[in-house]
A and B are shown apart, each in its own frame.
Chain A
């Protein structure tokens, strides 16, 4: 199987238009922020999207079932054919980590339905799109169906999965063979988290420097492509209280309510402990259970933090 092809940049829009006619196609678009939206002719690849594509699969709000008196029924959901073009390596790995949780471990039918029939086309960063990118420190893997490498006037397109290969076959008129090679997948200047093992740093007093700036606003977890903590609540129908929905919604370990039990006791009361919990879940706890870092180094938790808490710098400078 040929696994590397060439696509002229001038042909990109034609290719995307063709895809759009067959599937729902989402691409990064610059509006107020860069975000993934349905393709309407514009595409923006200079920065990574402000919001990761997590919300297309692990929904901010998911109805687990409807209830009517004592009967429960799971709402039927169509599995749409969707293509996401222009997803960065960090976010592709993040989706893989979410797959490990929701599909491989728990076989969650709601998430699975959203992931089925979706094709992920990556766009490889030539340079780090943000000063806070640290994917180079996170041992990322190839998790895409196709990967586009930007080479100026053309793209090198790497075929990474069967799904990707059949998509290319269907649209082979756009692609040419090439004898070029991908020499490196490392993105320069992104290996900036030098202390990767934080297991002995839990009691380091420097964590206070970060948590004293933390507002517990939970922007970091809302923007994180991997955070998967959630709550489950019943939402009654105000016109008929016998009816309603049980819903799963995103939640955040940075909020006090996250560990608040009935009666009012909060187990993770201190902001410092909540701050540390996020970092340790990303770099240590998840790895103990799933074998990989949960974090993929996109840097959104720093760039999106209202007080710009640079925990990378903090951890790097901690005395061991």
Chain B
């Protein structure tokens, strides 16, 4: 079988989240773990690795930030259009192994996308996990993703949303300031807790530092990493973090697996 050939998939829904972010739903039926990703391509523009922001075997949702050639082109998709996908790839969050724990989900910006897959999974398997806390950070109130879902999450979980800045002074129910400040203020211990992280590197580093100060161990934190990738199967080597391949051994790593690797 030729592993480099993508399969066509139909766009069944297009939802704009913010001025530079949108969610597409594809009719791809695939079994996957929360935190895994697919390679999405638009022929002529190229391929981009995008994490799966849903948990269903009937469709996949992809939340996409318009930041490069492929994602800018994907933003012009309409219902009924075709894209090409490969995957699912990588290792996701080990949900089954973590049954019975409290789960703390910390996401920044479009890093919330793979975590939405986790939240959907928890929703479907609620009894397997105890308390669920969400810390979600965005740049401004206009950048907040998954507004519709947030309303539901607020009912079911302990949700903290913060925005870095509030230039238009429109913020009533969110905290203004970095997500790290909010985390620092929250009274947390590491008893039967695991932390799922995804976001910009600078946020991840700071969050880890705070959690360590609160007594969390490296093996309680799971980080989803972003890297440049092309093949998705461990052949092209762009995504290497030292000897680890983000596409095969990750993108989700338990932090003690990669905690020594700073400059990769």
Contact = CB atoms under 8 A, between A and B. Distances in A.
Interface in B214-264: 226-228, 230-231, 233-238, 240, 242-243, 263-264
A286 to B, nearest CB: 8
B62 to A, nearest CB: 14
Interface in A254-287: 258-263, 265, 267-270, 273, 277, 280-281, 284-285
B68 interface: yes
Contact of A231 (B41, B238, B264): B238
A273 B240 CA distance: 12
Contacts, number: 107
Contacts of A70: 8, 43, 82
A289 interface: yes
A267 B204 CA distance: 14
B68 A262 contact: yes
Interface of B is mostly: loop
Given A72-B84, A269-B263, A280 B243 contact: yes
Interface stretch (B44-52, B92-100, B133-141, B190-198): B44-52
A231 to B, nearest CB: 5
Contact of B44 (A64, A244, A270): A244
Contact of A281 (B201, B237, B263): B237
A41 interface: no
B interface bracket (residues with beta carbon within 8 Å of A): 35 or more
Contacts of B48: 262
Interface in B3-54: 3-6, 8, 41, 43-48
A262 B64 CA distance: 12
A253 B237 contact: yes
Contacts of B43: 67, 69-70, 72, 234, 244, 246
Interface stretch (A77-85, A102-110, A299-307): A102-110
Contact of A236 (B44, B47, B230, B237): B44
A241 B44 contact: yes
A248 B233 CA distance: 14
A interface bracket (residues with beta carbon within 8 Å of B): 35 or more
A237 B231 CA distance: 23
B215 to A, nearest CB: 28
A74 interface: yes
Given A70-B43, A231-B236, A259-B228, A268 B264 contact: yes
Given A232-B231, A265-B201, A268-B264, A72 B5 contact: yes
14 contacts: A64-B4, A72-B84, A102-B235, A229-B237, A231-B238, A232-B46, A232-B230, A234-B44, A242-B44, A253-B237, A262-B67, A262-B70, A262-B71, A289-B243
Interface of B: 1-6, 8, 41, 43-48, 67-71, 82, 84, 201, 226-228, 230-231, 233-238, 240, 242-243, 263-264
Given A102-B235, A234-B43, A270-B263, 14 more contacts: A64-B4, A65-B4, A67-B44, A69-B43, A70-B82, A74-B2, A105-B235, A230-B231, A259-B227, A259-B228, A262-B48, A265-B201, A269-B263, A273-B263
